[in-house]
Amino acid sequence: MKKKLIELQVNDEVHSLAVKPNDTLLDALRDHLGLVGTKEGCSVGECGACTVLVNGRAVLSCLTLALDATGVQITTIEGVSQGEALDPIQQAFVDHGAVQCGFCTPGMILTAKELLEVQKHPSVDEIKQALSGNFCRCTGYTKIVEAIRAASKEQGA
């Protein structure tokens, strides 16, 4: 298959890369750019592990073609923290024991990021609803919900 040269804007950096028409955004991030923090759990849009932000909205990178991801701002888990300092959501995940195997964690954090951007103080039910497209098999979701709640309180009114 013939490759096409595209530009992707990821974590405030512009990358030029040659992708095949069937390469997904997930392939581009992981295989071309080495941003392996974005995880592949199912490749069919069911598990949420590959969630990234596109213009601030949570998107499944395994269902997005790389060719369609140009001209937008992409944020992956590597772009969430500000240098050494963790994002408040990341810090809350650490402090509240919301991380076990960690494979769903990047997707969970980016989903939470979108949620708290849209809605500063979601209820427990709203958090659970927002997370219901992200599978986790380790935590029973309890501490993930707690962490997001704590992060939402942290960010004030």
Partner 1 sequence: MNEYHVIGKRLPRIDAKEKVRGQAHYSDDLKLAGMLCGMILRSPFAHAGILKIDASRALNVPGVKAVITGDDTIKAKYGVISRSPKFVDEYPLAVDRVRFIGDEVAAVAATDPDAALEALDLIQVDYEELPAVFDPDQALKPEAPQIHDHAPGNISREFHLKQGDVERGFLESDLVREDTFTTQSAIHAYLEPHAALAEWDMSGRLTLHTSTQTPYYVQQHLALTLGINPDRVRVIKPYVGGGFGGKSDGMAALDFCAALLARKTGKPVKIVYSRDEEFTAARQKHPVTITMKTGVKKDGTLVARQCKAFLDGGAYCSLGPLTTVLVGTFQTLPYRIPNYRYDGYRIYTNKPPCGAMRGHGGPQAHFAQDVQLDMIAEELGLDPVEMALRNGLRTGERSAAGFNIISSGFTGCVQKVGEETRIKEKKSSKKGARGKAYGIGLGCGGFPSGAGFYFTNTTSAHSSVIIRAGEGGGVSVLTGASDIGQGSDSIICQIVAEVLGLGLEDIRITSADTAMTPPDMGTYSSRVTVAAGNAALKAARAAREEIFRVVAKKMEANPEDLVAADRRIFVKGSPDVFTPFEQAVNLYQTESGGAPLVVRGSYNSPDKMSPTYSFGAYVAEVEVDLRTGEVQVLRITAGHDCGQPLNPMSVEGQVEGCIVMGMGYALSENLSFEGGQTLNPSFLGYRAPVANQCPEIVIHHVIGRDPEGPFGAKETGEGSLDPVTPAIANAIYNAVGVRIKDLPITPEKILRELKKKEKGHEKETD
Q: Is 139 in the site for partner 1 (CB under 8 A)?
A: yes
Residue choice 4, 120, 137, 153 for contact with partner 1 (CB under 8 A): 137
Q: Is 11 in the site for partner 1 (CB under 8 A)?
A: no
Q: Please, how many CA atoms are within 13 Å of residue 50, restricted to the half-sphere of its CB?
A: 21
9 vs 95, beta carbon nearer partner 1: 95
Q: Is 75 in the site for partner 1 (CB under 8 A)?
A: no
Distance CA 98, CA 144 (A): 5
Q: Is 95 in the site for partner 1 (CB under 8 A)?
A: yes
Residue in this structure with the two tokens 């309890």, named with its chain if needed = 142
Give the DSSP per-residue string, 132-147. TTS--SSSTTHHHHHH
Q: What are phi and psi of 9, to 5 degrees?
A: -100, 100
Residue choice 28, 64, 106, 152 for contact with partner 1 (CB under 8 A): 106
Answer left, alpha or beta for residue 48, where phi above 0 means left and psi between -120 and 50 means alpha: left
Site for partner 1 in 32-71 (CB under 8 A): 34-44, 46-47, 49
Cβ neighbour number for residue 7 with a 10 Å cutoff:
11
Q: Is 88 in the site for partner 1 (CB under 8 A)?
A: no
Q: Min. distance of Cβ 122 from partner 1 in angstroms?
A: 12
Instruction: Tally the residues of the chain.
Output: 157
Interface positions with partner 1 (CB under 8 A): 1, 20, 22, 30, 34-44, 46-47, 49, 76-78, 80-81, 86, 90-91, 93-97, 99-106, 109, 125, 127-129, 131-145
